[in-house]
Amino acid sequence: MKEEEIVEILKKENNEYRKISVEHKSLGEALDRIDKNRHLTSDEEVERKNIQKQKLFKKDRMAALVREYKKTARN
């Protein structure tokens, strides 16, 4: 089964994956808004770094859920 297919299944069947996916998208949109500024204040730089870390954490968790699904699907 392809990863894209697993992602679609998880979006439909797994509440945690669905919630994290929405949060990940929202964080991406927040980064896009911040990145539209030509010059960032130091507070905005800190906020940007925090958002990037949160987004990466959520991406890692989604990848872990995909791996878990693959593992259980084989058994």
* Mean pLDDT along residues 2-9: 95
Share of the chain above pLDDT 70, in %: 99
Average pLDDT rounded to a whole number, residues 66-75: 89
How many C-beta atoms surround the C-beta of residue 55 within 10 A?
18
Among 55, 58, 66, 59, smallest CA distance to 7 is for 66
Tokens representing 39?
């010059």
What pTM was computed for the model?
A: 0.88
Question: Which amino acid, 24?
Answer: H
pLDDT at 44: 95
Q: Kindly give the residue spans of alpha helices, DSSP state H, lying in 2-41.
A: 3-13, 15-35
Reported as a single tens digit per residue, the pLDDT across 25-65 is: 999 999 999 999 999 999 999 999 999 999 999 999 999 99
Percent helix, percent strand, percent coil in the chain, to nearest 5: 85, 0, 15
Domain spans of the chain, in order of start: 3-74
- Res. 75 pLDDT band, cuts 50 70 90: low
